[in-house]
Structure 1
Amino acid sequence: MRLRAARALIAGAFVGPVVLEVDGGRIVRIRPATGEEDVDHDVVDGVLSAGMLDLQVNGSFGVDVAAADAEGWRTLLGGLAERGVTGVEPTVITAPLPDTVAALERIGRARDAFAGESVARVLGAHLEGPFLAPARKGAHRAEHMLAPEPAHLDTLLARPAAREALRTITLAPELPGAIEATRRLTGEGYVVAVGHSDATAAQVHAAGDAGATMTTHVFNAQRPLSPREPGVPGAVLTDDRFFVGTIIDGRHLDPSVVSLVLASAGRRTVGVTDAIVTAGTDAGEWLDFGGQPVANDPHGLGRRRDGTIAGAGIVLDEGVRRMIAAGLDPAAVLAACTENAARSLGRTDVGHIAEGATADLVQWDAAWHPSRVWIGGRALTPTAR
């Protein structure tokens, strides 16, 4: 396949016109376009980017990743792909440890079952809990939270299928045993993210010394930035070892705060949704999430019955539109959802328009809606949801 684009996001900037040559599901060559090429598809208006990667998705379209069956996974992964999300880290929130292990195993089975299909790729599981600070629990259930002591890590990683499915783990670095756990987990190849934490900046930097490289939803459910204590946000925004996960629904963070994150962290900014089961559903429709009911409010926020924010009720493409509509730089926003996300996982094969990368691509129209998506060079047509 040959694909020509007037503008394409490459290495954080819009360039073009370019021609992409795809063979065997991968981009094998990128070259300047002359306009005389014989191509299979021409992106004349809009922009071509790599497929987006959402590294924090608890669910969408009525599906909870912690309990999804085969039909649910197809609904979730297919729906995300239609919206331009071609890779996802299914995220499991705090639950009893045996339930968490079982959820990791199901995620691993889903990854294998849907590999090669034209749906979003499962990049590995993101475990958000139980190693969190009760003082910053957010919508998590404090009664199931644990300290990351060796015995609990042994239980979590004892079963090979769960161990192999896991990719990212959020923990609060101030908890007893957290620094030692961070060294162990990063030494075994996992990404450790600081989140749901009341840590001081010094404790966050200590986690960085131990190998932590990610932040879970900066500014949300963490010790805030203050004049004499930078807290979690101040630490990760100024420490180049950390990628900075940033919810871009425009509600968890005001777009001006997202702009500040981009200005501070630059290409360490990773745009995520923190989407839950309500993403892609109607406002006011009550669904179960983590053992408690949630519904979207009129602004697309998933809330518990008491009003507590439980997660975002949007898909990542809507977040892109909201940020661009608020005046943020489109190239920076898209890079946060593609290239930056991929680099935070150490991936060069997805999230990039680059020679050798998988041909997971999105054509964006002038209103920043995905008008065409390719998974491994195979086109699918997004449908209205």
Structure 2
Amino acid sequence: MTLIIHSAQKVDADGQVDDFWFASEAGIITATGTGTGWRTNVTDSNASADNTADTSDTDTTVIDAHGGWLAPGFIDLHVHGGGGHAFENGTDEILAALGTHRSHGTTRSLISLVSNPVDDLVHNLGVIADLTASDPLVLGSHLEGPFLSIGKKGAHDPDALIEPAPAIVERLIDASRGTLRQITIAPELPNALEAIEVLVEAGVVVAVGHTEADADLTRRAFTGGARLVTHVFNAMNGIHHRAPGPVIASFEDERVTLELVLDGHHVHPDVAKLVFEQAPGRVALITDAMAAAGASDGHYLIGSLDVDVVDGVARLVDGGSIAGSTLTLDHALRLAVEIGIAPSIAVAALTSTPARVLGLGHRFGTLTVGHAADAVILDHGWNVRSVFADGRAIAGAAA
């Protein structure tokens, strides 16, 4: 199948280009340019220059972006659910939740699991491994726990938190069948620094998070191979003038990427701007979304914990801690632009930066030849008009 999108304002990590077009074959971008050069890629006389072709009669689809923004498909490193569905509840629930996020521009996702008993995690890692094999838009799994600090547990069940014993680490790696892409770990736990090295050797991206570690211990984790910080500022010590903590350690290490939940609640907008300023090119906007993303306020579960969502803010019933978000990545993009982040930098934080974290920068993240034909068309207010993955339209995209 051929997909052509033209007359767009392209924006990605490489910058902005007016009157941009790309053509793709079999889900891969094969040509790009500006102006009317896209017409040379239309080989089917039934394909309209201004409308989607009738795909029952032709393999060519031509989309006129009408001057709207054209960005690469968004990549979410950290998401737990959406549309009223949680990822721990099986394949159908996972797919339903992903459908919500895909309609808002997220074309590739990790499947994040909260802390649960090891047997449950092993089962769910197997489910995600099967789904990764069948759905190319699923990039694998992210374990946010169970190797977290009780003192910084956030919305994790304290009864499920354990130390990273070598046998358990190996069991989780084996259960994922090569699809465990990311894990959050508190480096102060016994065996944690050794576990980080084992996980990195297995090809897992290790994130420091839900931790009471100071700056020095965080640096040791980075030396051991950790390359990510889970939702920076949240569930960790902040910046103190005599105790800089993990945030300063991550700012100073150019190998490290910082996850940021930009929803107006997790991190103040002024602090979010500081993160972009102090870690240029190293911010990955994430949703950390739970089941209520794209759904109504009400009562939900995160793992086994009760959560109330009021005015779009999710909090534990017991204690009131923020319990994930109700964010979608298009909303994060709008907020980033509103607080003064340049569009190309904001889009990079949704696309090329998370792709690079996963070692997939050669396949995703920019609208360049050789990359997947994952694309999002947005209006001038940064609202999603249509979404494409592997050169095909995603049904139900927000209009």
- Measured against the shorter chain, the TM-score band is over 0.9
Q: Is the 8 A contact 2:116 2:160 kept in 1?
A: yes
2:56 maps to: none
2:84 maps to: 62
Q: CA–CA distance in 2 between the matches of 1:26 and 1:343?
A: 18
Is it true that 1:92 corresponds to 2:117 in the alignment?
no
- The one-letter amino acid of 2:95's match is R
Distance verdict in 2 for CA 1:146–1:358, change over 3 Å: same
Deviation at 1:137, TM superposition (A): 0.7
Distance verdict in 2 for CA 1:225–1:32, change over 3 Å: same
Q: Is the 8 A contact 2:72 2:365 kept in 1?
A: yes
1:343 maps to: 356
* Match 1:217 to one of 223, 231, 234: 231
2:290 maps to: 276
Distance verdict in 2 for CA 1:368–1:319, change over 3 Å: same
In structure 2, runs of 5+ residues without a counterpart are 41-48, 50-61
Is it true that 1:303 corresponds to 2:308 in the alignment?
no
Q: CA–CA distance in 2 between the matches of 1:361 and 1:349?
A: 13
2:24 maps to: 22
1:289 maps to: 302
Distance verdict in 2 for CA 1:196–1:36, change over 3 Å: closer
1:253 maps to: 267
- The one-letter amino acid of 2:317's match is R
State TM-score, norm by structure 2: 0.89
Deviation at 1:309, TM superposition (A): 0.8
Deviation at 1:243, TM superposition (A): 0.5
Is it true that 1:325 corresponds to 2:327 in the alignment?
no
1:206 maps to: 220
1:114 maps to: 135
Q: Is the 8 A contact 1:105 1:165 kept in 2?
A: no
1:131 maps to: 147
Deviation by residue 1:201-240 (Cα, 9 ceiling, x = unmatched) = 1111111111111110000000211112220111111111
- The one-letter amino acid of 2:117's match is P
* Match 1:32 to one of 31, 34, 37: 34
SS state of the match for residue 151, structure 1?
helix
Share of identical aligned residues, percent?
A: 34
In structure 1, runs of 5+ residues without a counterpart are 116-120
Deviation at 1:193, TM superposition (A): 0.5
Is it true that 1:143 corresponds to 2:178 in the alignment?
no
Deviation at 1:301, TM superposition (A): 1.8
SS state of the match for residue 289, structure 2?
coil
Deviation at 1:340, TM superposition (A): 0.8
- The one-letter amino acid of 1:341's match is P
Q: Is the 8 A contact 1:5 1:48 kept in 2?
A: no
Deviation by residue 1:112-170 (Cα, 9 ceiling, x = unmatched) = 3334xxxxx111101000111111111111221111121221232343xx242211011
Q: Is the 8 A contact 1:8 1:49 kept in 2?
A: yes
Q: CA–CA distance in 2 between the matches of 1:17 and 1:345?
A: 31
* Match 2:97 to one of 54, 60, 76: 76
* Match 1:41 to one of 34, 59, 63: 63
Farther-moved stretch of structure 1 (75-84 vs 167-176): 75-84
Deviation at 1:35, TM superposition (A): 7.0
Deviation by residue 1:345-367 (Cα, 9 ceiling, x = unmatched) = 11121222121111010001111
1:192 maps to: 206
Deviation by residue 1:285-344 (Cα, 9 ceiling, x = unmatched) = 11222112223221x221111322111012111222223233332222111011111111
Q: CA–CA distance in 2 between the matches of 1:295 and 1:277?
A: 11
SS state of the match for residue 373, structure 2?
coil
2:391 maps to: 377
Is it true that 1:4 corresponds to 2:1 in the alignment?
no
- The one-letter amino acid of 1:304's match is L
Q: CA–CA distance in 2 between the matches of 1:15 and 1:383?
A: 24
Farther-moved stretch of structure 1 (221-230 vs 335-344): 221-230
Deviation at 1:173, TM superposition (A): 1.1
Farther-moved stretch of structure 1 (9-18 vs 333-342): 9-18
Distance verdict in 2 for CA 1:21–1:178, change over 3 Å: same
2:370 maps to: 356
SS state of the match for residue 9, structure 1?
strand
Deviation at 1:371, TM superposition (A): 0.3
1:145-184 aligned within 5 A: 145-159=161-175, 162-184=176-198
Question: Cα RMSD over matched residues?
Answer: 1.8
Q: CA–CA distance in 2 between the matches of 1:19 and 1:366?
A: 17
Q: Is the 8 A contact 1:126 1:168 kept in 2?
A: yes
- The one-letter amino acid of 1:11's match is A
Q: CA–CA distance in 1 between the matches of 2:181 and 2:329?
A: 20
Where do 4+ consecutive residues of structure 1 move more than 6 Å? none
